[in-house]
Amino acid sequence: MDYELSTVAFALGLTLFAGLSTAIGGAIAVGRRAPGPKFLAASLGLSAGVMLYVSFMEILPEAANHFGEVYDSEMRSMGAAVTAFFGGVAVIAIIDRLVPEEINPHEPSTTDEEARRRRLMKAGVFTAAALAVHNFPEGFATFVSGLEDLSIAIPIAVAIAIHNIPEGIAVAVPLREALGSRKKAFWWATLSGLAEPLGAVIGFLILMPLLGPMTMGVALAGVAGIMVFISLDELLPTAEEFGEHHSAIYGMIGGMAVMAFSLVLFM
């Protein structure tokens, strides 16, 4: 199907707007000059809450919907989604085990502070990668809706932009502490959001005829598994290390609440 250049440009602009809102989250995360342990624990908890909620309430059900286009029963669709979910968990767990000892935060020769920084670095990079993969089909969906119906595309883009803000925080908080650089943490958060316009462009030029429900189902469910593992293995344990248990839990619940409201808007 042929589209006017102005329509394509506007749809791409919507996708860019939605994706770059991770930069707002990154700016919030790096804005404080000297964050204390309560702020860090709450921010890491918020990051975990965002990732847990979006994984179970948005990504995994969406994966099951894609499998529903392949299989003729709800049980088989959900079974495939759950299998791919734990496949994602297995992949990230294996990667975690294969991290060389010289950068492994559990290496005995490192100090507590060095171990924490390395754990935060790994958590931040994995979070950025997982969210980038998650944002890729999100950007494609926003772009396609912008080509077809602006009355649907604009609310979708606004809702995605809102829930990308805490995703930017999720990336920037651990990387700020690991790298000791607010600027680098901000740009990592921004780059994770650029996966959305990248997904739009690649999807439009190459992948639209190749992406099927099976591929999307496996990818989405696998990403959900990766994000859950990162939350439980890296973000929450690191938040607890700051000695502010309640701040970490309140932050996690707050992250879930932010995602819940953004998904209500999306619906």
Annotated binding-site positions for Fe(2+): 135, 138, 164, 167, 196
Two structure tokens written together for 58:
């948005």
Residue labelled with tokens 């808007």 = 265
- Please report how the helices 5-20 and 195-202 are oriented relative to each other, as an axis angle in degrees rounded to 10: 150
Two structure tokens written together for 45:
């908890």
Is-contact 89 223, C-beta < 8 A?
Answer: no
Two structure tokens written together for 77:
């669709």
What is the rounded CA–CA span in Å between residue 251 and residue 257? 10
Q: Which residues are annotated as a binding site for Zn(2+)?
A: 138, 163, 167
Is-contact 29 176, C-beta < 8 A?
Answer: yes
Taken as a whole, the chain contains a residue count of 267
Q: Which residues are annotated as a binding site?
A: 135, 138, 163-164, 167, 196
Phi, psi (degrees; rounded to nearest 5) at 107: -65, 130
CA distances 125 to 44, 45, 194, Å, are 14, 17, 15
* Local structure of residue 239 (DSSP, 8 states): H
> What is the torsion angle, in degrees rounded to the nearest 10, for the CA atoms of residue 50, residue 55, residue 57 and residue 61?
160
